[in-house]
Homo-oligomer: A and B are copies of this chain.
Amino acid sequence: MELAEGKQKFIESWGKLGSEWGINRTMAQVHALLLISPEPITTEEIMESLSISRGNANMTLRDLISWGLIEKQHKAGERKEYFYADKDVWNIARQVAKERRKRELDPVVKILDELSKVNGDLKNPEFATFHKSVTDINKFAKNVDKTIETMLHAEENWFWGSILKMFK
């Protein structure tokens, strides 16, 4: 396979994975494009490479910035803005975990905490089943939360090292 074809495949696959994980396809594709660009590139070049409109490119870039996955860069003497992606996969994973925790896990834990407080008679199977499912899921979610918390502060080698050693 040639480099050009490889790049295409990479952008396509990253986009598909993104859309399966609730990140929109274009956003994942722009991220992929920046991941394989040695130099920062402009909105214009992104529009061109991916055949997307200016509006779409702009919104997507802002989203990626708010996710902490890319940054703007100014070049002296130029009006244009250049964008580049952090290429460190471990940083990317932490950034994504952090955002998803904030946007998805936290609100659910909050609701589960409330639902755990619902009172009822444990002899009533309706209530007993509800209560058990809610508290079990709550415990599980909190374990996931603690693991993410640790991951956010961990070094990559230590993290995988510990996990994989433990699982040997």
Interface stretch of the complex, out of A43-51, A63-71, A73-81, A86-94: A86-94
- Size category, A interface: 35 or more
C-alpha spacing A21/B139, complex, angstroms: 20
Contact B128 A146 (CB under 8 A): no
Which of B93, B114, B125, B160 is close to A1, meaning CB atoms less than 8 Å apart?
Answer: B114
Collect the chain B residues with CB atoms within 8 Å of residue A38's CB: 125-126, 128-129
Collect the chain B residues with CB atoms within 8 Å of residue A6's CB: 115, 118, 130, 134
C-alpha spacing A88/B140, complex, angstroms: 11
Q: A interface, by DSSP: helix, strand, loop or mixed?
A: helix
6 example contacts (A-B, Cβ-Cβ < 8 A) are as follows A6-B118, A13-B111, A21-B21, A38-B129, A87-B133, A90-B140
**A143 on the interface (CB 8 Å rule)?**
yes
**A58 on the interface (CB 8 Å rule)?**
no
C-alpha spacing A61/B68, complex, angstroms: 38
C-alpha spacing A160/B150, complex, angstroms: 13
- Nearest-Cβ distance from residue A29 to partner chain B, whole angstroms: 14
CB within 8 Å of B: which A1-54 residues: 1-3, 6-7, 9-10, 13, 17, 20-22, 35-39
**A72 on the interface (CB 8 Å rule)?**
no
Interface string of A102-118 (1 = CB under 8 A from B): 01100010011011011
Which of B20, B89, B147, B167 is close to A104, meaning CB atoms less than 8 Å apart?
Answer: B20
Contact A120 B1 (CB under 8 A): no
Given A3-B127, A3-B130, A9 contacting B115 (CB threshold 8 A): yes
C-alpha spacing A164/B147, complex, angstroms: 7
